[in-house]
């Protein structure tokens, strides 16, 4: 895996880019706009230039937490589609290919129907979005009514979206563990990865989120722990990161603390 962190953008996007370089990372994830606001932030010329000239880092964008294409609240699906469309245009300007997105929450309207809505929405958005952008569905812990906690649901989302070149999966280790997929030993990692391969296919994983879990297996709670301080542990994560099939896949830590802490976590798991 390619060591990376979720980099804070408190100092702006360009400063996040230099942080990644200073920490010696080869990949990174950012929010291109405030993740808790509907109103998007336009990309500046300086940002476009700095990102465009950077030839070494693999940067991934993470979508706003507000986005839910399957929401039953009247304006939310529309606001979500608009925000996603704007995000993909920002990414195009910054030269970012992959957008990581949490599939959504059905809010008790039924899982199957919600998955169909999400897939149809993503398909529509990608059809009109810049062609160099693509969307990754992230597996979730299954907290509340969130979707994407099972490999079967992820497979369904990909199949219904039916744009194999523009979609894929971001696999979060903390979320998978919380959703009941054991990763707390090397054997458990093998079994879980094999299961994912059978249901979805390993080639669909384009990004990993490498996080330990503060909560037990199957807790359905999304609480990231520092690497080695949770119920998964350092060794199985190192084992996962060393699998040859994931050699060129970014492994992004989203653990608590500072960018520096997250870089330490990334280097504990992955070789630079």
Binding residues for Zn ion (CB under 5 A): 172, 209, 222
Looking at beta carbons only, is 211 or 238 nearer to Zn ion? 211
DSSP output for the chain: -EEEEE---TT-HHHHHHHHHHTT-SEEEE-SS-TT-SS--PPPHHHHHHHHH--S-EEEEE--TT--TT--STTHHHHHHHHHHHHHHHHHHHT--EEEE---B-TTS-HHHHHHHHHHHHHHHHHHS-TT-EEEEEP----TTBS--SHHHHHHHHHHH--TTTEEEEEEHHHHHHTT---SSHHHHHHHHHHHHHHT-GGGEEEEE--EESS-TT-----EE-TTSSSS-HHHHHHHHT-GGGTTSEEEE--SS-HHHHHHHHHHHS--
Instruction: Please say which residue, 43 or 262, places its beta carbon nearer to Zn ion.
Output: 262
CB of 183 to Zn ion, least distance (A): 14
Least distance CB 128 / Zn ion (angstroms): 27
Which residue number is nearest to Zn ion in terms of Cβ?
209
> Between 47 and 215, whose beta carbon lies closer to Zn ion?
215
Q: How far is the CB of 78 from Zn ion (least distance, A)?
A: 26
Two structure tokens written together for 216: 């037990």
Q: How many residues does the chain have?
A: 272
Minimum Å distance from CB 187 to Zn ion? 24
Report the nearest approach of Zn ion to the CB of residue 143 (Å): 9
**Residues 109 and 144 sit within 8 Å (Cβ to Cβ):** no
Closer to Zn ion at the Cβ: 43 or 179? 179
Instruction: Report the nearest approach of Zn ion to the CB of residue 270 (Å).
Output: 16
Instruction: Name the residue nearer to Zn ion (CB basis): 43 or 231.
Output: 231
Nearer to Zn ion, 47 or 259 (CB): 259
Q: How far is the CB of 157 from Zn ion (least distance, A)?
A: 16
Q: Of 43 and 67, which has the nearer Cβ to Zn ion?
A: 67
């Amino acid at each position: 895996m390619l060591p990376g962190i979720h980099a804070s953008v408190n100092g702006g996007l360009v400063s996040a880019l230099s942080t990644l370089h200073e920490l010696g990372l080869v990949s990174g994830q950012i929010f291109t706009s405030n993740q808790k606001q509907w109103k998007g932030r336009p990309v500046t010329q300086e940002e476009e230039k700095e990102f465009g000239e950077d030839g070494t880092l693999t940067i991934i964008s993470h979508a706003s937490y507000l986005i839910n294409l399957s929401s039953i609240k009247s304006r939310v699906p529309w606001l979500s589609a608009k925000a996603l469309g704007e995000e993909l245009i920002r990414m195009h300007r910054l030269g970012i290919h992959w957008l990581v997105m949490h599939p959504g929450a059905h809010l008790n309207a039924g899982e199957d129907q919600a998955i169909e809505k999400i897939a149809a929405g993503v398909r529509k958005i990608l059809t009109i979005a810049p062609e160099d952008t693509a969307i990754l569905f992230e597996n979730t812990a299954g907290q509340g009514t969130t979707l994407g906690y099972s490999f079967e649901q992820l497979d369904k989302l990909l199949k219904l979206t039916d744009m194999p070149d523009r979609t894929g999966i971001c696999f979060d280790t903390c979320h998978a563990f919380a959703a009941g997929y054991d990763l707390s030993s090397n054997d458990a990692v093998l079994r879980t990865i094999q299961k994912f391969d059978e249901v979805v296919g390993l080639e669909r994983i384009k990004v990993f989120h490498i996080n330990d879990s503060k909560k037990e297996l199957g807790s359905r709670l999304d609480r990231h722990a520092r690497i080695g301080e949770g119920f998964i542990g350092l060794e199985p994560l190192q084992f996962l990161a060393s699998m040859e099939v994931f050699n060129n896949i970014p492994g992004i830590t989203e653990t608590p603390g500072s960018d520096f802490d997250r870089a330490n976590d990334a280097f504990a798991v992955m070789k630079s």
